[in-house]
Structure 1
Amino acid sequence: MVLPVPTPDAPAPAAAMQAPVSALPMAFQQFALNGKVAVVTGGAQGLGYSMAASLCSAGLVGIAILDINPLVGEPAAISLNEQFGTNAKFFRVDVTDELMMKSTFGAINDEFGSIDVVVCSAGVVDNYNAEDYPYAKFQRLMNINLGGSFLAAQSAFPYMRANGGGSIIFIGSMSGHVVNFPQPQIAYNASKAGVIHMMKSFAVEWAKYKIRCNSISPGYMHTGLIESFDQNWVNTWKSMTPMARMGEPHELQGAALWLASNASTFVTGTDVTVDGGYTAM
């Protein structure tokens, strides 16, 4: 199912996207998120925003966009509200701050009445040769990518348990399965491998609470960050991908919606790779 790929500056599509569940074909009704509330860390731009849009298009009643930068966070929430009619609110948060994360999730639950879906999308990447990697930067990246995902899940737990369950979607990477080439990114690779295995640990521990934990591992995706990379790297990435291209942000939307919805109620502890066949080689 192809969903729109809105950006904070995109014009609003028709409000008819939030059709009543009963009006959908039977096969699609299980993908509806009507009445649900989602939280997306790193949801103000890029892949996080695209996945947030896909969830809103499926009928969310509320969504919390968490980001450290209000200059992108506020417009993102406004855009989601205007496009989909979803009650979207921005919360400024540092995902590595335990007290801030836990108080923010409490405020979200108070605001919306529940937390049903969490997408742990906040992340960063650095490119240093392993022998030259500044340890402070290594720690910072691990704190954001791995620690931030841990805190998001842990902060959501009491509200999901009280609500009878939920779905937590971690954002891994094909870099958690293979070592990318030619760029050096030892901390990023390690952090995403950690995210995937951490997800599986959460899935096993929290299955008894009906909290499903899964992850999506994107391959090379065509986002604004690509412009900052060496174009020789970009050409190499395309040549090493069997589909001979980069993925588009909207190509993660179906996986996110599936894992968030009742279409995947017996799926937990699973990593879904969306990489154009890169890790199949």
Structure 2
Amino acid sequence: MYLEKFKLNGQIALVTGGGQGIGLACVEALAEAGAEVVIADRDPKLAAAGQAELKGKGLDTETVIMDVTDSARVTEVADELVGRFGKVDILVNNAGIARSETPAETVTDEHWLNVIDVNLNGTFWCCRAFGKHMLAAKSGNIVNIGSMSGFIVNKPQEQCFYNASKAAVHHLTKSLAAEWGARGVRVNAVAPTYIETPLNAFVKTNPRMYDAWIGGTPMARMGRVDEIASVVLFLASEAASLMTGSVVVVDGGYTCW
């Protein structure tokens, strides 16, 4: 009975920023559970490379080129996929950027707007476009990738723009959950800690930053992409059928201190 709740056979899923890192791990987790997954990425090479990597593991996926900041394109993709498959059951909003280590007083308009545009606006455009179809079907499941940075202020890197964008994603998650819960659509979020990805590899050559990151984590390590994807799979499945508006912190204990 319980293991069946984690299976996603017959479901259609889309993961934004799905070509690498946490996004690709989410694609793998959902596909392994039986879903037909579409990798959405703005970079055709990343999308193709991610698709090829999963093909090597025996998992078939599709790709679509989509920039989440282009609301018209997001709507077009949502409409096209529903036209093809008849539905989209699961949306994972993973696409995001950080551009950290910039003090607030030197943040340019372009910098601020770029991070907000990708992390917050892009998440909302996707929720809106795919959510309309889910509401019409009276069924759907959205998982947003937030961050522990939506709860705390990171150190030593300055990133007020990123922190604000992720806090907004968390509250957007709760707001949509409240609006759509009685209409069959669940909306939850995952708030990860620092994750071992190519983008974070630099920290191992920066002792001050690495010590702050790891010294502030009770588990004394960074997370892995599969550890985030596992929680996404749980939230996307019937195992989490009573959960909506939740922001699940997956941080190795970082926010405890």
TM-score bin (small chain): over 0.9
Is the 1:117–1:167 contact (alpha carbons within 8 Å) kept by the matching residues of 2? yes
Separation in 2 of the partners of 1:111 and 1:73?
A: 20
Offset of residue 27 of structure 1: 2.1
After superposition, the C-alpha distances for 1:169-227 in whole angstroms (9 at most, x for unaligned) are 01100000000000000100000000000100000001121100000000011111112
The answer to whether the 8 Å contact 1:64/1:108 transfers is no
1:37 aligned partner = 12
Q: CA separation in 1, counterparts of 2:63 and 2:163?
A: 29
Partner of 1:271: 247
In the alignment, which residue of structure 2 is the partner of 1:139?
113
1:244 maps onto 2:217 in alignment: no
Distance (Å, rounded) in 1 between the aligned partners of 2:201 and 2:46: 18
Name the SS of the counterpart of 2:180 in structure 1.
Answer: helix
- Determine if contact 2:97/2:115 at 8 Å carries over to the other structure: yes
1: CA distance, partners of 2:226 / 2:163: 23
Root-mean-square deviation over aligned CA pairs:
1.3
Q: Which moved more, 1:73-82 or 1:51-60?
A: 73-82
Deviation at 1:250, TM superposition (A): 0.9
Aligned to 1:8: none
Compute the displacement of 1:82 (Å).
4.8
Question: Identity of paired residues, percent?
Answer: 37
Give the letter for the 1:36 counterpart.
Q
- Aligned residue identity for 2:24: Y
Partners of 1:74 and 1:215 lie apart in 2 by: 27
Q: Could you tell me how far apart the structure 1 residues matched to 2:87 and 2:113 are? A: 33
How many residues matched? 254
Structure 1 residue 252, shift from structure 2 partner: 1.1
**1:15 counterpart residue number:** none
What residue number does 2:156 align with?
182
List runs of 5+ in structure 1 lacking aligned partners. 1-25
Which residue is 2:181 aligned to?
A: 207
**Runs of 5+ consecutive residues of structure 2 not aligned to the other structure:** none
Equivalent residue, structure 2, for 1:70: 44
**Aligned residues of 1:200 and 1:214 also touching (Cα < 8 A):** yes
What are the within-5 Å matches in structure 2 for residues 58-137 of structure 1?
A: 58-60=33-35, 62-86=36-60, 88-127=61-100, 128-137=102-111
2: distance between equivalents of 1:54 and 1:194?
Answer: 26
Structure 2 counterpart of 1:271, one-letter code: V
Residue 254 (str. 1) matches residue 227 (str. 2): no
CA distance in 1, matches of 2:146, 2:132: 23
